[in-house]
Amino acid sequence: VNNAGVLPKLYRIEEITEEEWNKIIGVNLTGVFFMCKAVARHMIERRRGKIVNISSIAGKEGGTVGVAYAASKAGVIGLTRALARELAPFNITVNAVAPGPVDTSALSDEIKRRGAELSPQGRIARPEEVAHAVIFLIENDHVNGEVININGGRYMD
């Protein structure tokens, strides 16, 4: 499970520096790529495996947290689907979850409040709700290349 990521302050395109862009893309997308590459080699040898990447609602809807974050998480979705197709012949599934805001200490009270206001359910996700989706993807052998939304109906596709 690839759950490393950085949630930066909100950068508008005219404000973000190249250094900040590279940091966000580096952690959120490049880090996921290299972790997948590292484990895929061993999974291919064993001819089985599961990879679950953590993306974000921002990767699907464009996000309200800035262009770099949205681009990095959209990249995780593209990477997930490409790897799912590439690794399927080796009995390896690659999927992702795309949560909206999750009630953790990493989020400010303001982001939690805004996230709850945007959700039709009127709240943000609990960590265990994300964990249950990850467990489903790990336990299922025939779901591959999918991205599960976990956002209370805020974004549906």
* Predicted pLDDT at 142: 98
pTM for the model: 0.94
Mean pLDDT of 10-30: 92
The Cα 130–Cα 122 span in angstroms is 17
Residue 8 belongs to a domain: no
List, for residues 33-47, the tens digit of each pLDDT value: 999 999 999 999 999
* Predicted pLDDT at 58: 94
Residue 4 belongs to a domain: no
Residue 13 belongs to a domain: no
Q: What is the CATH number of the domain that holds 120?
A: 3.40.50.720
Which one from 69, 83, 115, 152 is the annotated catalytic residue?
69
Number of structural domains (the chain) is 1
Residue 109 belongs to a domain: yes
The Cα 93–Cα 81 span in angstroms is 10
Q: Which amino acid does the sequence have at 56? A: S
Q: Is the pLDDT of residue 130 over 90?
A: yes
* Predicted pLDDT at 152: 95
DSSP string, 29-84: IIHHHHHHHHHHHHHHHHT-EEEEEE--THHHH--SS-HHHHHHHHHHHHHHHHHH
Judge contact between 70 and 59, C-beta under 8 A.
yes
Residue 48 belongs to a domain: yes
Judge contact between 97 and 147, C-beta under 8 A.
yes
* Predicted pLDDT at 6: 87
List, for residues 57-109, the tens digit of each pLDDT value: 999 998 677 899 999 999 999 999 999 999 999 999 999 999 999 999 888 89
Residue 76 belongs to a domain: yes
Judge contact between 97 and 55, C-beta under 8 A.
yes
- 69 classed as catalytic: yes
What the block records as the tokens of 74 is 């959209």
* Predicted pLDDT at 18: 94
Q: Measure the CA dihedral 52/57/61/65, to 10°.
A: -120
User: Closest Cα to residue 90, out of 48, 51, 52, 50?
Assistant: 48
Residue 157 belongs to a domain: no
Mean pLDDT of 120-128: 97
Name the pLDDT band for 141 (thresholds 50, 70, 90). very high
* Predicted pLDDT at 32: 98
Beta bridge partners of 126: none
User: Closest Cα to residue 52, out of 124, 138, 151, 150?
Assistant: 138
Domain limits for position 111: 18-150
For all residues of the chain together, what is the average pLDDT?
Answer: 95
